[in-house]
């Protein structure tokens, strides 16, 4: 259940179309559901604005299908992350209309189109083409959540003119997720060129002294530009969730937004 569905449920009780006992019966099943050895947090979207997603590693195909079906039934959508192509082919047979992002390892399943969380776009910027898988994990997650994404790839600091070419598109976005490996300098440069909040994602791309992304991580943590938030190595999903919370926090997904919507419909807004 998400906030819109919860609002509809409360409105139905308010207008007498749904008995209180029936509403309680629906609500009591929300916070937790068992699917095999998994305990699904079906109330997470109500609390945080982002529903629980399915992390594919460590699960059998049958378990993935069962969990995805349950989340789809509860939320009208489900997202599977870190999914390998052979497993994706098998899972897509169970969900024929699913959207498969091969580069990002994402399978997005929906009963209908995603509601837009807010106006505008979120930019996903990558330093090189080797960083695209992590960038696509971020971009695909944002699209699953309803955002329009501006993909600005291969604009790293080794050819700074490439970044300057796309700078107007970064400025036009609500926020920028900047993905880089090697020395990880790109988020600092982007943050020095735009007023938009920057979410930095270090990747494990690089030569031996990059230490699997640790060098890029430390560079980003030591950024001399203000307004840079850093997530873990290769964590495109986490970056997308952070950008979503920033950009949707004052919109319809917020508690204040839901209260205002209820008050408008009941004639209580002054």
**pLDDT computed for residue 122 by the predictor:** 96
Q: Hey, is 227 helix, strand or coil? A: coil
- pLDDT per residue over 85-112, tens digit each? 999 998 899 998 899 999 999 999 988 8
- pLDDT per residue over 204-260, tens digit each? 999 999 999 999 999 999 999 988 999 999 999 999 999 999 998 744 444 444 344
**pLDDT computed for residue 253 by the predictor:** 40
CB neighbour list of residue 138: distance below 8 Å, 6 or more residues apart:
104, 124, 177, 179, 201, 236, 237, 239, 240, 243
The token pair at 156 is: 């790293």
**pLDDT computed for residue 109 by the predictor:** 92
CB neighbour list of residue 185: distance below 8 Å, 6 or more residues apart:
157, 219
Averaged pLDDT score across all residues of the chain: 85
* Percentage of the residues of the chain whose pLDDT score is greater than 90: 54
**For residue 7, pLDDT beyond 90:** no
**For residue 61, pLDDT beyond 70:** yes
**For residue 67, pLDDT beyond 90:** no
Could you give the CA distance from residue 153 to residue 132 in angstroms, rounded to a whole number?
7
- pLDDT per residue over 160-215, tens digit each? 999 999 999 999 999 999 999 999 999 999 999 999 999 999 999 999 999 999 99
Domains belonging to the chain, first-starting first, are 33-113 (3.30.110), 121-247 (3.40.50.1970)
In this predicted structure, which of 51-60, 81-90, 152-161 has the lowest mean pLDDT?
51-60
| Closest by CA position to 142, among listed 261, 73, 236, 22 | 236
**pLDDT computed for residue 134 by the predictor:** 97
CB neighbour list of residue 190: distance below 8 Å, 6 or more residues apart:
125, 163, 170, 176, 178, 198
**For residue 79, pLDDT beyond 80:** yes
Could you give the CA distance from residue 214 to residue 209 in angstroms, rounded to a whole number?
9
Confidence of residue 136 (pLDDT cuts 50, 70, 90): very high
Confidence of residue 21 (pLDDT cuts 50, 70, 90): confident
Confidence of residue 46 (pLDDT cuts 50, 70, 90): low
Q: Which residue has the higher pLDDT, 31 or 62?
A: 62
Could you give the CA distance from residue 121 to residue 124 in angstroms, rounded to a whole number?
10
Surface-to-core class of residue 183, CB atoms within 10 Å of its CB (0-12 exposed, 13-18 middle, 19+ buried)? middle
């Amino acid at each position: 259940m998400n906030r819109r569905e919860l609002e509809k449920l409360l409105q139905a009780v308010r207008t007498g179309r749904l008995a209180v006992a029936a509403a309680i019966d629906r609500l009591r099943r929300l916070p937790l559901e068992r699917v095999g050895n998994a305990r699904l947090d079906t109330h997470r979207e109500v609390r945080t604005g982002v529903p629980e997603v399915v992390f594919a590693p460590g699960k059998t195909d049958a378990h993935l299908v069962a969990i995805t079906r349950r989340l789809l039934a509860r939320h009208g959508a489900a997202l599977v992350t870190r999914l390998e192509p052979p497993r994706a082919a098998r899972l897509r047979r169970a969900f024929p209309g699913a959207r498969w992002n091969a580069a990002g390892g994402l399978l997005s399943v929906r009963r209908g189109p995603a509601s837009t969380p807010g106006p505008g776009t979120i930019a996903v910027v990558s330093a090189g083409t080797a960083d695209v898988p992590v960038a696509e994990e971020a971009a695909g997650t944002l699209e699953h959540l309803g955002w329009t994404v501006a993909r600005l790839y291969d604009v790293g600091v080794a050819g700074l003119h490439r970044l300057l070419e796309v700078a107007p598109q970064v400025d036009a976005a609500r926020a920028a997720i900047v993905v880089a490996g090697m020395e990880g300098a790109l988020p600092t440069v982007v943050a020095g060129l735009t007023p938009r909040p920057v979410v930095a994602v270090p990747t494990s791309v690089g030569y031996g002294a990059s230490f699997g992304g640790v060098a890029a991580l430390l560079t980003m943590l030591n950024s001399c530009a203000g307004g840079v938030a850093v997530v873990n190595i290769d964590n495109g999903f986490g970056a997308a969730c952070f950008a979503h919370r920033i950009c949707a926090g004052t919109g319809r997904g917020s508690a204040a937004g839901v209260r205002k919507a209820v008050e408008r419909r009941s004639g209580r807004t002054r």
